[in-house]
Amino acid sequence: MAAEGLRPATLAAQALGWVDEATRAIIPPLHPATTFLRDPDNQFRSGRIYGRDDSPAYDQAEALLAALEGGEGALVFASGNAAAAALFQALAPGDHVIAPAVMYWGLRAWLRDHAVRWGLEVSFLPEMTAAALSAVLRVGRTKLIWVETPANPTWAITDIAAVAALARAHGARVCVDNTAATPVLTRPLALGADYVMHSATKYLNGHSDVVAGALVTALRDAAWDKVRAVRRAGGAVLGPFEAWLLVRGMRTLYLRVSQACRSAERIAGHLAAHPRVAAVLYPGLPGHPGHAIAKAQMTGGFGGTLSIRVAGGEMAAVAVAARTTVFKRATSLGGVESLIEHRASIEGAGSSAPPDLLRLSVGIEDTEDLIADLDQALSDATGR
């Protein structure tokens, strides 16, 4: 399907250049069918039986994702958390997994509250360094290392190639949550990871109108068959319309991410010098602890998300979010519209987010409008 030698931005813009054979349409049809005709001799030569596993609505999204991430296969799911859960549920009770303490809080909570009831043993590490990993890795028992880079909401950076080399030496596999970086900025499989996971709800779809998830695998092997079986049996499948919208969103992925990165970098630099900002957490800033690794590992930018710690503490942070008008006060990230949120409020009790932290998802609006909005929101009553 994909023309050889074309660059990822071209593959995405044309969704692999796919043309509908029946109509010559250059946009895919929407297939809502949940069931498929059996041949008179009782076979299913179409290869499709039932919509929970075989929907043609997934074909293009999965092929495009596999191509962009450089994997042999991809599966779309009903949400990012459903995609991640399927990978963990394909493991066996008694297996040991390692995850970072700084990661998307909803998935961390699932690991803490549900994966352990499934019999998985989970070690959360404050830092995903070789030394910290070596201390908890158990040959024969550690089956999966979870990486999120840049990681929500401090945008901590993990060296994917270093973790992958260590995992391989110990017989474990690595999955990278590539939601924030996207394949535009980081291709984990090329760095040695075994799987990539996405909350496709974010940059891949990009328009805040689809909840979806995806897994991409380096190898189509027996372990991947188990993941597919978990999706089929568990049924956390994406609706056909959502899959169609996802392909439509991915066509502009490269443009959107590039613009978001450019603006985020400008905003980070601007706020780093702002008297009402105590700290800017953005891997593109030389002062960020992960800057050197991010510079080597990410190409084309450092991402469209950043966090700031507001001078004056929690109430000051909440007040700043209350004053933005271009940045909308809402959770999530990776959409065309810029969002701001007080992270500790959404994570609730047990949140590890500093109380003065605001998370910013930079959209594709004019950079100057975004900076002006933050400036007016940060200025206090005296107009400082």
Interface contacts to ligand PLP, rule CB under 6 A: 79-81, 104, 106-107, 148, 152, 177, 179-180, 199, 201, 211, 213
Residue with CB nearest ligand PLP? 80
Q: Minimum CB separation from ligand PLP for residue 331, in Å?
A: 7
Q: Does the annotation mark 52 as catalytic? A: yes
State which residue, 363 or 378, has the beta carbon closest to ligand PLP.
Answer: 363
Catalytic residue among 104, 203, 254, 282: 104
Q: Which residue has the tokens 């994997």?
A: 71
CB of 213 to ligand PLP, least distance (A): 5
CB nearer to ligand PLP: give 79 or 142: 79
Provide the minimum distance between the beta carbon of 284 and ligand PLP in the complex, in angstroms, as a whole number. 18
Q: Strands 73-77, 195-199: parallel, antiparallel or unpaired by DSSP?
A: unpaired
CB of 334 to ligand PLP, least distance (A): 8
Q: Across the beta sheet with 339-342, what order do the strands follow? A: 277-281, 305-310, 357-361, 339-342, 328-329
Nearer to ligand PLP, 122 or 165 (CB): 122
Backbone angles phi, psi at 195, to 5 degrees: -140, 155
Closer to ligand PLP by CB, 142 or 199: give it. 199
Round to whole Å and give the CA distance between 155 and 298: 13
Distance of closest approach, residue 107 Cβ to ligand PLP, in angstroms = 5
Integer angstrom CA distances of residue 19 from 25, 48, 60, 61: 6, 20, 11, 14
The nearer residue to ligand PLP, 18 or 77, going by C-beta atoms, is: 77
Catalytic annotation, pick one of 48, 52, 226, 266 = 52
Query: Cβ of residue 295: shortest distance to ligand PLP, in angstroms?
Result: 21
CA proximity to 265, closest of 371, 171, 165:
371
202, 231, 309, 359: the catalytic one is 202
295 catalytic, yes or no?
Answer: no
141 is catalytic: no
CA 278 to CA 283: how far, in whole Å? 16
283, 157 Cβ separation under 8 angstroms:
yes
Catalytic residue among 54, 177, 194, 356: 177
Note if 262 is an active site residue.
no
* One-letter amino acid of 128: M
Q: How far is the CB of 106 from ligand PLP (least distance, A)?
A: 6
Q: Which residues are catalytic?
A: 52, 104, 177, 202
